[in-house]
Amino acid sequence: MWTILAWSGVIAVGVAAGNYAKPPAFARGGGGGGRLLPRVPGPPPDLPALLWTFGVGSVVWYAVILALPFMLLAARRIDVERIGRARTVALIVVVVVALIAATSITEYFLLYHGIQMRPSMMNYMPVALRQNLLPWVAIAGIVAAIEGRRRSRHSELERERLRAAVAEQRLIALTGQLHPHFLFNTLQGISTLIHRDPEAADEMLSKLADLLRDLLRHRDRVLVPLGDEVRFARTYLEISKLRFADRLAFEIDIPAELHQASVPLFILQPLVENALAHGIGARMSGGRVTLGAQRQNGRLHIEVADDGAGMTTASPREGIGLSNTRERLRASFGNDQRLLIDPAPAGGVIARIDIPYQLHSSAAGAQ
Residue 304 has a pLDDT of 94
Give the containing element (helix H, strand E) for 291: strand 287-296
Residue 31 has a pLDDT of 47
C-alpha span between 332 and 315 (Å, rounded) = 25
From 96-110, 162-176, 262-276, the region with the lowest mean pLDDT: 162-176
The dihedral of CA 260, 264, 265, 269: what is its sign? negative
Mean local confidence (pLDDT), 115-121: 84
Question: Is 308 in contact with 279 (CB distance < 8 Å)?
Answer: yes
Which among 341, 210, 320 has a CA at the least distance from the CA of 270?
A: 320
C-alpha span between 291 and 252 (Å, rounded) = 5
pLDDT interval class at 160 (50, 70, 90)? confident
Amino acid identity at 336: D
Question: Is 47 in contact with 102 (CB distance < 8 Å)?
Answer: no
Write the pLDDT tens digit of every residue in 169-197: 555 555 555 456 667 777 777 787 787 88
Q: Is 158 helix (H, G, I), strand (E, B) or coil?
A: helix
Q: What is the DSSP string of 199-223?
A: HHHHHHHHHHHHHHHHHHHTTT-SE
Residue 313 has a pLDDT of 60
> Mean pLDDT score of the chain, rounded to an integer?
80
Write the pLDDT tens digit of every residue in 292-303: 999 999 999 999
Q: Is 247 helix (H, G, I), strand (E, B) or coil?
A: helix
% of the chain exceeding 70 in pLDDT: 80
Write the pLDDT tens digit of every residue in 12-54: 777 777 676 666 654 444 444 445 445 566 666 777 777 766 7
C-alpha span between 193 and 197 (Å, rounded) = 5
Mean local confidence (pLDDT), 321-328: 82
- Domains in the chain, CATH or no CATH each: 2-23+42-157 (no CATH), 194-362 (3.30.565.10)
Residue 244 has a pLDDT of 79
Burial class (CB in 10 A: 0-12, 13-18, 19+), 320: middle
Task: Name the DSSP class of 346.
Answer: T
Write the pLDDT tens digit of every residue in 190-229: 787 787 888 888 888 888 888 878 777 766 677 889 999 9
Give the containing element (helix H, strand E) for 271: helix 269-275
Whether residue 145 is predicted with pLDDT greater than 80 in this model: the reply is yes
Residue 187 has a pLDDT of 79
Residue 286 has a pLDDT of 77
% of the chain exceeding 90 in pLDDT: 21
Mean local confidence (pLDDT), 112-134: 86
Question: Is 290 in contact with 251 (CB distance < 8 Å)?
Answer: yes
Q: What is the DSSP string of 67-118?
A: HHHHHHHHHHH--HHHH-HHHHHHHHHHHHHHHHHHHHHHHHHHHSTT-SS-
